[in-house]
Amino acid sequence: MKKILLLLLICFSIISKSYSFIIRDSEIESVVKKLVSPIAKAANQNSEKLKIIIINDNNANAFVTPGQKIFIFSGLISNSKSPNELEGVLAHELGHITGKHHVRIYEQLGKARIISIVGIILGGAATLATGDSDALAAIGGGAQTLSQRSFLNFSRAQEGSADQSGFRFLKDSNKSICGIISFLEFLQSQETLGMQDEYMRSHPVTGKRIFDAQMAAKGENCNEPKNSIQEIKEYKFIQAKLYGFINPENTIKIINDSEYFDQDQKDYALAIANYKLLNLKEGNFLINKLIKKYPNNPYFYELKAQMLRDNGYIKESINNYLKAIKIKPDDSLMLIELSQAQINEESPNNLLNAIKNLKKASIVENQNEKLWYLLSVAYGRNNEMSKSRYASAYSAYLKGDDVRALNFIKKAKKIVKKNSVEWNKLDNLESIIKK
């Protein structure tokens, strides 16, 4: 999988040419969290502390990193035939987390940041749009400290253990093992002869994994659905969402011929695809159709709000974000997107509301670069310059741009009283960066 990965933050609501590899979306993350929560409980993990990160990549894969982060390739969601297939993969990844299988890898990588680590795991170079030379050096250093074979040997030695743990977690959470069987069979169908060398694989031979899963699933009828009607419906909606956002042209051409999606899911994908292709009239018609049918679905209001905001209808956008948040009041990602619209509206009242909403969202999304960027803008327009510069510094730090972050800290310290609360916050961030 020789890919170049830009590990930069993106929400579906942040349509930016600069950011393209990490997907942040409230609906997708919510559905995945709902599926993984009982499995995490069986694994004695706090699901609230699990971080689900979706990578925009059509490969069917997943991996874990320190901090209870599970990276899921969008292709894993798009190509899976049921929520139970994803549950099986998530159970396997929880097996890695509980077994602390990732610890040794990251110990060997030394001071490399997560952005560097992901690049190595994916087998390619990580490219930083920010020009973070330290991170690039860390990538090179990390790659030199790990021979390919030793890295794969370590990974191979842990995969069987993660499988067995995953089977146990699925059973203990009353989930089916059948999904992981069908997923592994899918992987097997994708393999080529050149990938069969067991000693150069990061996973055990797929045939053996299928056999182990079949033994673990003895007594189950794998021909029956393993998820509720509601779970399947929600899952198909996020699959349709991914299709619409990632492949809008193809969605327009072929989705109406799909026998997999129902008409509502097709309309969702088409609404998104038309919006992405700048056909606001058709996109708005389709999302209004869904809102009329599902008036209590916050994600439909969120999509409409996004469409309106990105086309300059700011007040109408704010109204629809507020409708979404009324249904889901503590949704941090929605609060961030609402705040962007409120800042764009440029009234003093909305500016204060934006700051309030961003501070509330930061309780959960403290590592969200866009949140801190928006805070820097909002504080700046509200003439709170020391807070604005701190937010700018933190935003730059999260991007990996330490030079820029330190420059903002230097500017902030010129207008902040020494040893004050704000000074100490700046000092702490400076110390973290210089470590």
| Beta bridge partner(s), residue 5 | 126
- Count helices and strands (H / E) in the chain: 21, 4
Q: What is the pLDDT of residue 96?
A: 86
Q: What is the pLDDT of residue 262?
A: 97
Task: Report residues of the chain scoring pLDDT below 50.
Answer: 1-20, 109-117, 119-149, 151-152, 154, 193, 195-200
Q: Strand 51-55 to strand 22-23: parallel, antiparallel, or no bridges (unpaired)?
A: antiparallel
Q: What is the pLDDT of residue 64?
A: 77
Q: Residue 332's closest CA among 369, 355, 360?
A: 360
Q: What is the pLDDT of residue 400?
A: 83
Q: What is the pLDDT of residue 55?
A: 87
Q: What is the pLDDT of residue 68?
A: 77
DSSP summary character for residue 72: E
Q: What is the CATH number of domain 229-434?
A: 1.25.40.10
CA angle 65, 366, 393 (to 5 degrees): 105
Global pTM? 0.83
Span 176-202, pLDDT tens digits = 999 999 998 888 887 754 544 444 455
For the chain, the structural domain boundaries read 22-216, 229-434
DSSP string, 275-294: HHTT-HHHHHHHHHHHHHH-
Q: What is the pLDDT of residue 32?
A: 95
Is the Cβ–Cβ distance between 307 and 339 less than 8 Å? no
Q: Strand 62-65 to strand 51-55: parallel, antiparallel, or no bridges (unpaired)?
A: unpaired
The amino acid sitting at 125 is A
Span 314-329, pLDDT tens digits = 999 999 999 999 999 9
Q: What is the pLDDT of residue 113?
A: 47
Provide the CA 307 distance to its chain's centre, in angstroms.
21
